[in-house]
């Protein structure tokens, strides 16, 4: 779905337009001409010429169609009264409906035989007159209008009227079993508003802004912010919708001609399949898709940084050290927020279109789609695909998919495996809530405004997303001189980044497919939040959360294993999922460490001594299936991502039995983005100090089953997660050495009950 470019419909307008539609594919536009008469132009399988409908207008017209073949047009006459003309098997004469108008009228209809007309009166208030088996008198709806109104009905018994208030903001009044009070919707208008609705519950309002551009605000479960649609308007806009996902906007341009811009659904014409990179490479490391990708990377890398379709520009959209050129949207990535998934889906989608164009320009393959790297599989699929470890392409030229250490982890480039506790998405997939709060942990991140680094990462973002970033990248250094994947401002420069994010995107689809209450947010703040990218032609494009919830129908791609069987199998083996009850109070602290600890690449165990006042509470919670025990790792600080993560285990002090170790693994601490936390120029919510929260209930259950649960003391172990050598081999010492760089400080480890 997208806004089409402005197109001129010619004519010489001396007023703003009015527009109606009586069916899908039909538009009727009305304007005042240079002779002050009403002029008409319509669209049905193509645009008609202009026709004059006579009259002498002293305002712009308003029009509405209550049924197929019927149009009602209103305008102010030379006597300042409201005049009316309608079409039904031919045009009527003009009739006067009286009143004294000080603005152009607005009209809407909620059904056949019903008309509601609005205009500003001599007292600057909004006045209303309606038709239903005859015309009513005028009634005042109050308010003080700076200009004319806009009105629309989304269904029987519902009217939404919009005006520009004395503060130049948009004001709104609703009729639904009576008129509501006035509500301000903000903004700074320089024209009357125009309104349209394509279905019940949907409103689209348009007006000229202070920059004379067309601005748009919409309602769907809540009001969006204002969105600029560009252009230079010299009149108020008019808008109409002939059906779902279609809006047509009209206004006079600086050349006095009628200009038209419309929103339409462009259903994907192709359905691309994103395939497993290892499956593609089964017989040849450089299968046609991978080879095409490598060549496209070369093409993009050769483009200048200022080109929005270049490799460096696209990487900088995620993050970059250099300052962005004027107008560029760099450093826009969304992490530790509920926008993590939709932003990255949009980002990878448009980037894939750029790559595909480069691939097609080079001759194909025509079905090119970005592969994904599903590392949550047995050796060798948990190692980097071979094309990413091979220095040259089949033709002997340099392979742009290859990055040597230190820009990628030496261990991974030597064939190292990602360990299972770094790649498993099972814990995240078991969650049924997309966002938090009220739940302390979530699949998709904490509710927040758009932010590059928020305060609350979702569990899938932590593992595998963050952990894989760190292990593949290794230690960061300088400005993209170390591990690229480990640094937010360098990660997208590594070609494997895109396969990693393709996999994360796939897992989002898999999570939805699991059902059991797993749904995307229905909040307007999530659905209507828009983000800006560039398409394959370098044109600026915008998508909202609501635009990317269905990859097949909206974006034209699917994954070859939808849903992922391995994850399905893991989650299916777990007890049936019931939506967790909403906690009535915040998690309550039961115990915490007394001193900070440092992580320097070795295993560390800390002990939490429960005060006597907490023991009963913790013991009760451990025995109560409806309650949960949480481990929080707080005030995590560090200068740089050390290029490794830490697996977190719940233990009893001195325990050596490892039979339940897998169940006692409650999650991983990751450091992707930690360097931004110390940068005052980077927007993030957490201020220096990340916080990870893990559900430890299952781990405590495991201890209780073995009679090893000691409510007096809980041990929490941090164990480094690094690449494993290939089976039966050893990695070279320089590849296995843990060089964590600056230590990571953890302020406190806490045990909470909820």
Among the listed ranges 21-29, 157-165, 214-222, 582-590, the one in contact with another protein (CB under 8 A) is 582-590
Sorted by sequence, the CB contacts under 8 Å of residue 668 that are 6+ apart come out as 421, 422, 462, 463, 466, 467, 645, 646, 647, 648, 721
Report helix, strand and coil shares of the chain as percent, to nearest 5: 20, 30, 50
Q: How far is the CB of 679 from another protein (least distance, A)?
A: 8
Q: Is 246 helix (H, G, I), strand (E, B) or coil?
A: strand
- By the 8 A CB rule, do 280 and 289 touch? yes
- Least spacing, CB of residue 541 vs another protein, in Å: 24
Q: Among 33, 41, 116, 104, which residue's Cα sits nearest to residue 72?
A: 116
- Considering the rule CB under 8 A, would residue 482 count as an interface residue with another protein? no
How many contiguous H segments (helices) and E segments (strands) does the chain have?
15, 38
Q: State which of residues 591, 618, 633, 647 lies at the interface with another protein (CB under 8 A).
A: 591
Under rule CB under 8 A, residue 585 binds another protein: yes
Of 596, 653, 725, 743, the residue at the interface with another protein (CB under 8 A) is 596
Q: From the CB of 630, what's the least distance to another protein, in Å? A: 12
Q: How far is the CB of 99 from another protein (least distance, A)?
A: 44
Q: How far is the CB of 542 from another protein (least distance, A)?
A: 20
The region of 214-222, 278-286, 320-328, 583-591 touching another protein under the rule CB under 8 A is 583-591
Q: How many CA atoms lie within 13 A of 255 on its CB side?
A: 9
DSSP code at position 610: P
For the bound state, the minimum distance from the C-beta of residue 745 to another protein, rounded and expressed in Å, comes to 9
> Can you read off the two tokens belonging to residue 588?
């309550």
The residue among 588 and 719 lying less far from another protein, judged by its C-beta, is 588
**Rounded least distance, CB 592 to another protein, Å:** 4
CA dist list (Å): 106 to 37, 73, 493, 518:
18, 10, 53, 44
CA–CA separation, 692 vs 670, rounded Å?
9
> Cβ(158)–Cβ(111) under 8 Å?
no
Q: Does 686 bind another protein (CB under 8 A)?
A: yes
Question: For residue 601, how far is the Cα from the chain centroid?
Answer: 35
Piece in contact with another protein (CB under 8 A), picked from 252-260, 498-506, 662-670, 677-685: 677-685
Q: Does 324 bind another protein (CB under 8 A)?
A: no
Decide if residue 586 touches another protein (CB under 8 A).
yes
Taking CB under 8 A as the criterion, the residue among 68, 112, 177, 584 binding another protein is 584
Nearest-angstrom CA–CA distance, 227 and 248? 16
* DSSP helix/strand/coil, 160: strand
Beta carbon nearer to another protein, 97 or 715: 715
Q: Is residue 440 close enough to count as binding another protein by CB under 8 A?
A: no
Among the listed ranges 190-198, 386-394, 398-406, 744-752, the one in contact with another protein (CB under 8 A) is 744-752
Binding mask 48-87 for another protein (x = CB under 8 A): ----------------------------------------
Query: Which residues 6+ apart lie within 8 Å of 93 measured at CB?
Result: 85
Establish if 449 lies at the interface with another protein (CB under 8 A): yes
Question: Quick one: residue 415, left, alpha or beta (phi over 0 = left, psi -120 to 50 = alpha)?
Answer: left
108-147 as b/e: b if 16+ CB within 10 A: bbbeeebbbbbbbbeeebbbbbbbeeebeebeebebebbb
* Binding string, residues 397-436; x marks residues near another protein by CB under 8 A: ----------------------------------------
Q: Is 327 in the site for another protein (CB under 8 A)?
A: no
Binding mask 187-226 for another protein (x = CB under 8 A): ----------------------------------------
Q: Give the range of 170-178, 268-276, 565-573, 685-693 binding another protein by CB under 8 A.
A: 685-693
Q: Among residues 395 and 582, whose Cβ is nearest to another protein?
A: 582
> Site for another protein (CB under 8 A): which residue of 451, 493, 716, 754?
451
CB 595 within 8 A of CB 589: no
Using the rule CB under 8 A, which residue among 88, 284, 594, 729 binds another protein?
Answer: 594
**Contacting another protein (CB under 8 A), which of 687, 732, 737, 739?**
687
Number of shown-chain residues binding another protein (CB under 8 A):
32
Task: Give min distance, CB of 749 to another protein, in A.
Answer: 9
Contact positions with another protein (CB under 8 A) in 612-671: 613-614, 634-635
595 forms part of the interface with another protein (CB under 8 A):
yes
Measured from the CB atom, the residue of 536 and 695 that comes closer to another protein is 695
> Which residue carries 């990462």 as its tokens?
457
| Alpha carbons 316 and 323: distance in angstroms, whole number | 10
* DSSP structure string for 336-394: SSTTHHHHHHHHHHHHHHHHHHHHHHTT--TT----B---SSSTTTTS--GGGS-SB-T
Cβ of residue 636: shortest distance to another protein, in angstroms?
Answer: 11
Q: How far is the CB of 734 from another protein (least distance, A)?
A: 36
User: Least distance (Å) from another protein to the CB of residue 688?
Assistant: 5
Q: Does 589 bind another protein (CB under 8 A)?
A: yes
| Contacting range for another protein; rule: CB under 8 A; set: 204-212, 250-258, 696-704, 742-750 | 742-750
Backbone angles phi, psi at 72, to 5 degrees: -120, 125
- Using the rule CB under 8 A, is 181 a contact of another protein? no
CB nearer another protein, residue 245 or residue 588: 588
Residue 666 CA to residue 17 CA, distance in Å, equals 62
Sign of the CA dihedral running 230, 233, 237, 239: negative
> What does the DSSP 8-state code read for residue 700?
H
Part of the chain binding another protein (CB under 8 A), chosen from 83-91, 204-212, 426-434, 608-616:
608-616
295's CB contacts (< 8 A; 6+ apart) are: 358, 359, 362, 393
Establish whether the linkage from the previous residue to 464 is cis, with ω within 30° of 0.
yes
Q: Which is nearer to another protein, 255 or 712 (CB)?
A: 712
673 binds another protein (CB under 8 A): no
Nearer to another protein, 585 or 626 (CB): 585
Alpha-carbon distance of 325 to 328, in angstroms, equals: 6
**Alpha-carbon gap, residue 110 to 176, rounded angstroms:** 12
Q: At its nearest, how many Å lie between another protein and the CB of residue 608?
A: 8
CB of 753 to another protein, least distance (A): 10
In the complex, the residues that contact another protein under the rule CB under 8 A are 449, 451, 584-596, 611, 613-614, 634-635, 680-681, 683-689, 747-748, 750
């Amino acid at each position: 779905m997208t806004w089409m470019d402005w197109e001129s419909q010619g004519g010489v307008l001396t007023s703003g337009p009015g527009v109606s539609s009586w069916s899908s594919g039909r538009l009727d536009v009305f304007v005042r001409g240079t002779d002050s008469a009403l002029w008409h132009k319509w669209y049905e399988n193509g645009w008609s010429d202009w026709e004059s409908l006579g009259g002498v207008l002293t305002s712009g017209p308003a029009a509405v169609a209550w049924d197929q073949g019927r149009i009602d047009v209103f305008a102010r006459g030379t006597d300042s009264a409201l005049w009316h003309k309608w079409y039904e098997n031919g045009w009527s004469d003009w009739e006067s409906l009286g009143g004294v108008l000080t603005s152009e009228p607005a009209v809407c209809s909620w059904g056949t035989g019903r008309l509601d007309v609005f205009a500003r009166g001599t007292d600057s208030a909004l006045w209303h007159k309606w038709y239903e088996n005859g015309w009513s008198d005028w009634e005042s709806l109050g308010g003080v209008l700076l200009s004319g109104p806009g009105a629309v009905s989304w269904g029987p018994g519902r009217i939404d009227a919009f005006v520009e208030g004395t503060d130049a903001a948009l004001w709104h009044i609703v009729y639904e079993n009576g008129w509501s009070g006035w509500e301000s919707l903000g903004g700074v208008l320089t024209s009357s508003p125009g309104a349209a609705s394509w279905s019940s519950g949907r409103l689209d309002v348009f007006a000229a802004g202070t920059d004379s551009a067309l601005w748009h605000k919409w309602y769907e479960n809540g009001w969006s912010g204002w969105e600029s649609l560009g252009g230079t308007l010299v009149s108020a806009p008019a808008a109409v919708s002939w059906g779902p996902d279609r809006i047509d906007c009209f206004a006079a341009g600086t050349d006095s001609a009628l200009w038209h811009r419309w929103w339409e659904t462009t259903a994907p014409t192709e359905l691309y399949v994103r395939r497993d990179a290892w499956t593609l490479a089964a017989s040849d490391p450089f299968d046609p898709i991978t080879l095409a990708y490598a060549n496209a990377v070369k093409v993009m890398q050769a483009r200048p940084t200022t080109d929005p379709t270049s490799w460096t520009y696209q990487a900088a959209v995620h993050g970059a050290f250099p300052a962005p050129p004027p107008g560029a949207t760099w450093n826009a990535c969304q992490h530790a927020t509920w926008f993590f998934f939709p932003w990255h889906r949009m980002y990878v989608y448009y980037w894939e279109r750029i790559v595909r164009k480069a691939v097609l320009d080079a001759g194909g393959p025509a079905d090119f789609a970005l592969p994904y790297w599903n590392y949550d599989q047995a050796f060798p699929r948990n190692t980097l695909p071979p094309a990413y470890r091979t220095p040259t392409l089949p033709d002997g030229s340099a392979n742009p998919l290859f990055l040597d250490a230190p820009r990628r982890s030496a261990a991974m480039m030597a064939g190292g495996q990602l360990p299972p506790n770094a790649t498993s998405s099972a814990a995240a997939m078991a969650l049924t809530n997309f966002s938090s709060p009220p739940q302390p942990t979530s699949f998709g991140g904490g509710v927040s405004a758009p932010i590059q680094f928020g305060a609350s990462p979702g569990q899938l973002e932590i593992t595998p997303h963050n952990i894989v970033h760190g292990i593949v990248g290794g230690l960061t250094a300088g400005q993209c001189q170390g591990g690229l994947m480990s640094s937010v401002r360098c990660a997208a420069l590594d070609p494997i980044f895109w396969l990693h994010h393709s996999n994360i995107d796939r897992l989002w689809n898999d999570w939805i497919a699991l059902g059991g209450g797993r749904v995307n947010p229905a909040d307007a703040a999530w659905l209507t939040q828009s983000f800006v990218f560039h398409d394959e032609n370098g044109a600026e494009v915008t998508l909202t959360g609501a635009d990317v919830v269905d990859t097949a129908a909206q974006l034209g791609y699917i994954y070859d294993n939808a849903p992922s069987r391995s994850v399905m199998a893991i989650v299916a083996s777990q007890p049936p999922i019931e939506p967790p009850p909403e906690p009535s109070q915040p998690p309550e602290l039961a115990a915490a460490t007394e001193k900070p600890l440092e992580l320097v690449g070795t295993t560390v165990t800390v002990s939490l001594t429960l005060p006597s006042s907490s023991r009963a509470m913790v013991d009760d919670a451990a025995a109560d299936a409806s309650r949960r025990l949480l481990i929080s790792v707080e005030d995590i600080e560090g200068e740089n991502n050390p290029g490794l993560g830490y697996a977190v285990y719940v233990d009893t002090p001195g325990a050596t039995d490892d039979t339940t170790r897998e169940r006692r693994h409650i999650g991983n601490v990751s450091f992707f983005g930690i360097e931004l936390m110390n940068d005052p120029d980077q927007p993030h919510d957490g201020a220096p100090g990340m916080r990870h929260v893990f559900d430890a209930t299952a781990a405590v259950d495991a201890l209780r089953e073995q009679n090893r649960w000691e409510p007096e003391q809980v041990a929490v172990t941090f164990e480094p997660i690094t690449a494993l050598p290939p089976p039966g081999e050893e990695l070279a010492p320089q590849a296995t050495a843990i060089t964590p760089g600056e230590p990571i400080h953890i302020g406190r480890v806490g045990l909470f009950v909820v």
